[in-house]
Amino acid sequence: MTAPSFSYPVLRMKPKANARAIRRGFPWVFSNELVLDRRAKALAPGSIAILEDAEHTPLALVGVNPASKIAARVLDRDTNATIDRDWLEARLAKALSLRQRLYDAPFYRLVHAEADGLPGLILDRFGDTVVVQPNAFWADTLIEEIADALMAVTGVANVLKNAGGRGRHLEGLDDLDVTLRGEAPDAPMTVEMNGARYMADLTGGQKTGLFFDQRPNQAFAQRLAQGARVLDVFSHVGGFALAALAGGARSALAVDGSAPALALARNGAEAMGAAERFDTREGDAFETLQALGQEAGRFDLVICDPPAFAPAKPALDAGLRAYERVARLSAPLVEEGGYLVLCSCSHAADLSSFQGACLRGIGRAGRRAQLIHTGGAGPDHPLLPQLAESGYLKALFFRL
């Protein structure tokens, strides 16, 4: 790239900061690693700056938020680049090329933040509509350019901003959802995955409306579901339950605390012609698991896919206890020789810690387990090897 026609401000790392990690691909610079003098603190959140090491050697272009713990996010190692619409289109085109190779239909995570070179930016595609979660200040500042670049690269008609992400709160951003381009759908959208039909509420549902990340794990569970009685706890819009029905399950019970989510799950089952094999139960997941245990409920396949119990390190111990409790309450519901699937989307709980919590819970329920499969997110949620947090999803498949 040619040098930009203007100069970006400079942020400098402290002498003892780990500049080597940035050179090796780590995408974040924490506030305690930077010289945050009066000039640096005066930079507007969302500004673009040149990051230098303590010896004044340029390292990268970064998106800046002096008020955040993650004070700088690496956008480009080329400090002569210009972060503009052309730059955004190039990054989006690269992300799109991967998804088009992977999937026949345009329903996928189009951009997975740092792993696609767009830190803090989430884009989920639903046909001709893209839902944007700009969870970093630089992305929120450039949201109009992102919307224009999206339409140019993908040809979609509608771009919606979803401001419900936890990261936005940490960045000091607003929580206002906006229709950026086109129109918001006035009804839930039908999304087909693994032979199942899901109803995605793009404006009123959780996150962007549907969780694409569990697609390969739902496909594996589907292989275990033939002729099975299935229990799907923390079901949302029927993620595992509807996949199981598409795989020939005898019956599926979806449990969730959200009545609107369960209504969408029922609509999905009806659209599949599987309504007579599908049932729902609204209520707190832990209380429902206890109640099913008291009712001597038994299933051939039980799946528990809870929200993040340990979204950050301070919550890790409590989160692991919660995962252990899920395992302890769900294991007794599995028939001898049946299957238990336990999932975690917690950034702070690594695979080893999560597996240990699950095994403790299974053991305290008096069951023994074989671990037959370990799954992660689908390839539309690529992993940035230098950032463990980008590989957040874990799914453990046990035979009890």
- Per the annotation, the verdict on 345 as an active-site residue is yes
Both tokens of 59, joined, read 């390292």
User: Under a CB-based contact definition with an 8 Å cutoff, are residues 206 and 275 in contact?
Assistant: no
Residue positions counted in the chain: 400
CA distance 210 to 191: 9
Query: Of 211, 140, 212, 126, which Cα lies nearest the Cα of 178?
Result: 140
Q: Give the active site residue among 304, 343, 345, 358.
A: 345
Query: Of 150, 201, 157, which Cα lies nearest the Cα of 182?
Result: 157
* C-alpha of 190 from chain center: 20
Q: Report helix, strand or coil for 9.
A: coil
Could you report how far apart the first and last alpha carbons of the chain are, in Å? 57
Query: Of 55, 64, 52, which Cα lies nearest the Cα of 23?
Result: 52
User: Under a CB-based contact definition with an 8 Å cutoff, are residues 63 and 75 in contact?
Assistant: yes
Cite the beta strand spans of 355-393 per DSSP E. Answer: 370-375
Query: Of 399, 334, 344, 347, which Cα lies nearest the Cα of 373?
Result: 399
Both tokens of 79, joined, read 């400090």
Q: How are beta strands 394-399 and 334-344 bridged, if at all?
A: antiparallel
How many CB atoms are located within 10 Å of the residue 370 CB? Answer: 9
What type of residue is 327? Answer: A
Catalytic residue numbers read: 345
